[in-house]
Chains A and B, each alone.
Chain A
Amino acid sequence: MYKYDEIDQRLVDERVAQYRDQTRRYLAGELSEEEFRPLRLQNGLYIQRHAPMLRIAVPYGMLSSKQLHKLADIAQKYDRSYGHFSTRQNLQLNWPKLEEIPDILAELATVEMHAIQTSGNCIRNITTDQFAGVAPDEVVDPRAIAEVMRQWSTFHPEFALLPRKFKIAVSGTKDDRAVVQMHDIGMEFYLDSQNKVAIKVWVGGGLGRTPILGSVIREHLEWQHALTYCEAIVRVYNLHGRRDNSYKARIKILVKALGIDEFRSQVEAEWAHLKDAPNTITESELARVAKHFEAMPYATLPAHDASFDAAIASNPAFANWAKRSLHAHKTAGYRAVTLSLKPHGKAPGDASSEQMHVVADLAEQYSFGELRVSHEQNLILADVKLSDLFAVWEKARANGLATPNIGLLTDIICCPGGDFCSLANAKSIPIAEAIQMQFDNLDYLHDIGDIELNISGCMNACGHHHIGHIGILGVDKDGSEWYQVSIGGSQGNHASIGSVIGPSFSAEEMPSVVQKLIDVYIKERTPEELFIDTARRLGVAPFKAYVYAKDEVTA
């Protein structure tokens, strides 16, 4: 993974000093609440229900063992010994003290980490596929350009105060796993007819209260122009995006207001001036950064491993885990492993300091000292030998990291919700926990098969509820907490936004509502259909009829 040189290190060190002084001025009353707000937000610091919340950047989801050990130590020293991995591949601390943030940043800087632009109206952490570099269906490893873009966007002077936050995702696989169509800018890397790396660029996607899939602004962009083209897009947005109403300030609203054709022509007119400017990425810069993402020194291994096959045959618990948690790898004899942060009955995405140390050790011992965070809020060891998998499983299992539910109903994506977030209409974590307990039967979960259930505590959609096969949204009705349910959303190449099934439910009803949706699916499915397929084929009607028939049935 990318390692800092002097220039990178100097920048984060200077950032610590800058933020320390900003905090000092705020505490001394030299900065008003309103003036400090964007400064702390651009450093990932929210003021929440109980305490500030600090979001630490994990660029495109990659971490080293050393960094994860440090995060575990920081969580222990400055917080309550746990952290929350987010849907944008970052780590959040829920209970740090405002006065101690500069010290936390100083500690982060010692392991080449920071909290720069993890929030606020600026270009945020760039996200990508958690299997970048190892996935067999990968056409282009997007990480080197993601790093080049990270550097370009860090303290970008022109884009320091945009109308609203700005999120970029990159992907280089046939099957999109980075949800590029749901971002302000999405970049899909591919090889063009000349076999050169090119980019298909999407713009104006986003969730929140106005969920919109992105539009293609350019089918073919040579990689060298990634920065200047983004500059043109963000400049048009910076100048013309709405600033009078924060709910209408995202680029998606501007793209929609102008129409993609008019928006494109403004961007192209701007880009005509920027193309080939000094920010054009050079071959040598790409090569320098790409060196950090070269393939690991893999051993030459056969495609099968006898000890692994034997363990699968003799140990059903291991076999169950393997079935859900292992992912194909480019290199023979290796697998990528997902460690579940979704044990039933616990807040999805949370990891204790102790667990972080365990995962860091596992990565050190079995996966070249690196790991990744997925937007589904799990942790990934990307390069494990078949022969090591049993040992990994045993240690993960002993530490609550091996729930065999990856991709299943209880692998819930969930925002912090009303327990932590002051914008929430409703709590989301207890709903996730209750659903996990309702379906606490592995055989049954496996029978239900692949399904994505996403929960957000309000329409800001941090939990991606629109693109859940089942989506749950917290709503406020006369001051009490209710939940609206949608089905048929999905991520990936055929991304779609779910349809609401009807009036909302109370918290107590939620596990049985989900149960009923599953019952309809089980009854109606053809042998090869997953929940999403059945939901798409039948539409909302049969699900709705059964769920709302409740009163007559129980009466």
Chain B
Amino acid sequence: MSQLIKLNDNVAHIAENQWAVVQLPPSLVEARKQAGKVVLFKLTGEKTVSEEQLSGTIIPESGKVIVPLSVFIARKAQLQARINAGEIGVWVDTHEVLNDLAEHQADLNQLPIIAIHVERFADGRIFSLGLLLRTRYGFKNELRAIGDVLRDQLFFLKRSGFDSYLIRADRNAQEAMLSLKDFSAPYQGAVDEPRPAFLRYNRVA
């Protein structure tokens, strides 16, 4: 069965996965990609991915593929025809910087899908990244969570603007879907509902 949950008009269902995720080849030098250091990367412009990895990434010749942000940036010219054809999506790791994507792809909505990859489920950067893509960068197409995606984070992912969730292979996606409905009237405004409870309801003292 498919591990993909998609949200259409706020209704969740299991969907077939049409997108293949392209991985970077493993690096020979240890990646310096920890949070905190990102602050430094931003200031110094230091790269987290090597040239060999970029050129060594194997992108399938055809079909819908989601490529790593760094590969997308480095090899955009080569992919342009397929981008125009709507066959290319981009995935972003939680330590990466969204501005890098926006700088190289002025119209994000030319991409049918953006995925955020979370290495460990407890890495909450994914929520801020989703929110920023939706609210700051105006991304309207499919926003997918990939990687260590588990049931108990789904409600938060949904509120942060994700509408597609690729549940980790060893878990039951059908059951996981239930957690999208954990809370019916959350307090704070977020991406899925910008108004906080005090604007949505007539709350009397």
Contacts of A473 in B (CB 8 A): none
How many A-B residue pairs have C-beta atoms within 8 angstroms? Tell me: 138
Docked Cα-Cα span, A538 to B203, in Å, equals: 57
B117 within 8 A of A: no
In the complex, how many residues of chain B place their beta carbon closer than 8 angstroms to a beta carbon of chain A? 46
In Å, the complex CA distance between A523 and B190 comes to: 61
- Residues 158-176 of chain B: 1 if any A CB is under 8 Å from the residue's CB, otherwise 0? 1110000000000000000
Cβ contacts under 8 Å, B135 to chain A? 273
Chain B positions within 8 Å of A273 at CB level: 135-136
Per-residue interface assignment for chain A, residues 287 to 300, with 1 indicating a CB less than 8 Å from any chain B CB and 0 otherwise: 11101100000000
Residues B39 and A162 in contact, CB atoms below 8 Å apart? no
A282 proximal to B (CB < 8 A) = yes
Contact A163 B187 (CB under 8 A): no
Q: Choose one: B35, B38, B205; the contact of A288 (CB below 8 Å).
A: B205
**Do B197 and A244 touch (CB < 8 A)?**
no
- A159 pairs with B184, CB closer than 8 A: no
Within 8 A of A (CB), among B27-63: 34-39
- DSSP class of B's interface residues: helix, strand, loop or mixed? loop
**What are the interface flags for A194-233 relative to B under an 8 Å C-beta threshold, 1 for contact and 0 otherwise?**
0000000000000000000000000000000001000000
Q: How many residues of A contact B (CB 8 A)?
A: 51
Among residues 98 to 156 in chain B, which have CB atoms less than 8 Å away from a CB atom of chain A? 121-125, 127-129, 131, 135-136, 150, 152-153, 155-156
B25 an interface residue at 8 Å Cβ cutoff? no
Chain B residue numbers with a CB within 8 Å of A240 are 35-36, 38-39
- What is the distance, in angstroms, from B149's C-beta to the closest C-beta of chain A? 12
Q: B196 in the interface, Cβ–Cβ < 8 Å?
A: yes
Does A311 lie at the interface of the complex (its beta carbon under 8 Å from any beta carbon of B)?
A: no
Q: Verify if B194 is at the interface (C-beta below 8 Å from A).
A: yes
* Cα distance, A544 to B155, chains bound together (Å): 56
A152 to B205, CA, bound (A): 17
Cβ–Cβ contact A11 & B123, under 8 A = no
CB of B150 within 8 A of CB of A35, answer yes
Does A440 count as interface, using CB distance less than 8 angstroms?
A: no
Is B26 engaged at the interface, CB distance under 8 Å to the other chain? no
Complex contact A152–B188 (CB within 8 A): yes
- Assess A7 versus B197: contact at CB under 8 Å? Given A14-B183, A151-B187: yes
CB distance from A36 to the nearest CB of B (A): 9
Smallest CB–CB gap between B198 and chain A, Å?
4
Is there an interface contact between A155 and B185, defined as CB atoms closer than 8 Å? no
> Known: A160-B127, A162-B124. Contact between A14 and B184, CB under 8 A?
yes
Partner of B187, one of A155, A161, A254: A155
Which residue numbers of A lie inside 8 Å of B, CB to CB? 5, 7, 10-11, 14-15, 18, 22, 35, 38-39, 121, 151-163, 227, 235, 238-244, 248, 253-254, 257-258, 273, 277-279, 282, 284-285, 287-289, 291-292
17 residue pairs from A and B, CB less than 8 Å apart: A5-B204, A7-B201, A11-B183, A14-B183, A151-B188, A152-B187, A157-B156, A157-B157, A157-B159, A158-B131, A160-B124, A227-B188, A240-B36, A242-B34, A257-B36, A257-B39, A285-B203
Binding site for A on B (CB under 8 A): 34-39, 121-125, 127-129, 131, 135-136, 150, 152-153, 155-160, 179, 182-190, 194-199, 201, 203-205
| Additional A-B contacts beyond A38-B122, A242-B34, A244-B36 (11; CB < 8 A) | A18-B179, A18-B183, A39-B152, A155-B155, A155-B183, A158-B156, A160-B153, A161-B123, A240-B36, A273-B136, A292-B205
